[in-house]
Every structure is written in C-alpha cells, then in structure tokens.
Structure 1
Amino acid sequence: MEIIMAVLAGILFTTAVYNLLQKQMLRIIIGTALLSHGAHLFILTMGELKRGAPPILSEEVEQYTDPLPQALILTSIVISFGITSLLLVLAYRASKKNGTDNMEQLRGNEYE
C-alpha cells in the first residue's frame, strides 16, 4: 500500500511542477493545489499506514495508531485551502483589471 501511495504522490508532484511552469495563472494555481495534495499523501505515507486502536490509553490494547500524521495533514489542508482561495481571488482581480491571465502579458513582455 505504501508503494501505491508513494507512486501517486510522485505523480501528483510531477503534474504540479508541470502546471507551475505554465503561463496561465489558473494552471499555476492548480499546480499549487496539486503540490499540496502530493505533500499530504507524502506525509501520510511517511507516517506509515498502520492499523491499530485509537490513541486512547487502555490496558488491553497493544498497538496504537499514530495521530500525528493525520493532525499534520488536517492542518495542512486548512492552510492550503486558504492559500488556494487567496490565489484564486488575486487571479480573478488581476484578470479583470488587465484583461488577461497570461503571465507573460502581465509582466509586460510581448506574447505572440
């Protein structure tokens, strides 16, 4: 299972980097979202996918699951949602003001 998760995280990282190198703002924002999802899967994979009881101390339970990866991922999801929404609002405002979402035109370079 860890191999599948690692391959999926690698695919997400690859597509994120590809989208980050594009010229349209919306693709760049999608790339940042994919990058954060790849990081979530990477954190979950590095935390080892163990099965066990909830982390509540009890006498009869021998193996517990580690709650730290899930807590880190939940915090990261909230932060990435805020960043994505901020980037979408900024991209909307920039495209409304300038009439384009192309990064080359927004920099002042000629685009053909």
Structure 2
Amino acid sequence: MVIPYVVVIILFSLGIYTVISKKNLIKMVIGFTIVESSLILLLILIGYKPSGTAPILDRQYEIVVDPIPQALALTTIIIGGSVTAVMLALVIKIYKRYGTLNVDELRKLRG
C-alpha cells in the first residue's frame, strides 16, 4: 500500500512549503506542526502490520506489531506539543514587544 506513504510525502512537502513561503510567524508554527504530524504518521505506518496483534509474552502469535514505532510516536506527540506551545509563547512575546508577526518587518528592526 503506497497511498499512505504518498500522503506522508504530501503533508511533509506542504509543511515545508508553509514554513519557507509564509512571512507570518503563526503560519510558520502551523507549518512546523504539519511537518511533525507527517512524521508521526510515518512512524505509525512503519509499525503497522495488517492483522497484527500486540506482542504479549504469554501468547504465541505469528504476526505481531512492532511496539517501538508506537512508543516513538507517543513520545513525538508529547515533545511536539511542548515545542509547539513554546513556539506559540515566543510568538506572543514577539508580538507584544514589536507589534508585528511579519518576518520581514522583524528583520528591519534588527538594525
């Protein structure tokens, strides 16, 4: 099944395009979040096996799902949420101090 991987590539490309092309800091944070979501989806797709079960030690199954990508996806969700919150807090501080979220105007203030 190639379609889910194509969706990951499209989401990743959309996020990178948003980060590169947009001048508003909020839109850039949204782009970073889209990139993060595509990477989480990739981790989930790597660990998925059709008709796979959880790897429990007391039972014998032929097809088991790898738990490492699931753990990495959960860790990525937690860390990504924290990083997004910090980025948004910095954006709020920048807006309160300079009164703008436009990257070009902030570069002009540098000096």
Normalising by the smaller structure, the TM-score range is 0.7 to 0.9
The residue aligned with 1:5 is 4
Distance 2:59 2:33 in 1: 42
The unaligned stretches of length 5 or more in structure 2 are: none
CA RMSD, aligned part only?
Answer: 1.6
Displacement after TM superposition at 1:25 (Å): 0.1
The residue aligned with 1:99 is 99
Percent identical pairs in the alignment equals 32
The residue aligned with 2:32 is 32
Show structure 1 runs of 4+ deviating over 6 A: none
- Give the length in aligned residue pairs: 108
The unaligned stretches of length 5 or more in structure 1 are: none
Distance 1:82 1:50 in 2: 32
Question: Structure 2 matches for 1:20-99, cutoff 5 A?
Answer: 20-21=19-20, 22-99=22-99
Distance 2:30 2:87 in 1: 10
Scaled by the length of structure 1, the TM-score of the pair is 0.87
Scaled by the length of structure 2, the TM-score of the pair is 0.88
Paired AA for residue 84 in structure 2? T
Distance 2:60 2:104 in 1: 63
Distance 1:28 1:91 in 2: 10
Residues 53 and 47 (structure 1), Cα distance of their counterparts in 2 relative to 1, 3 Å cut: closer
Distance 1:88 1:59 in 2: 46
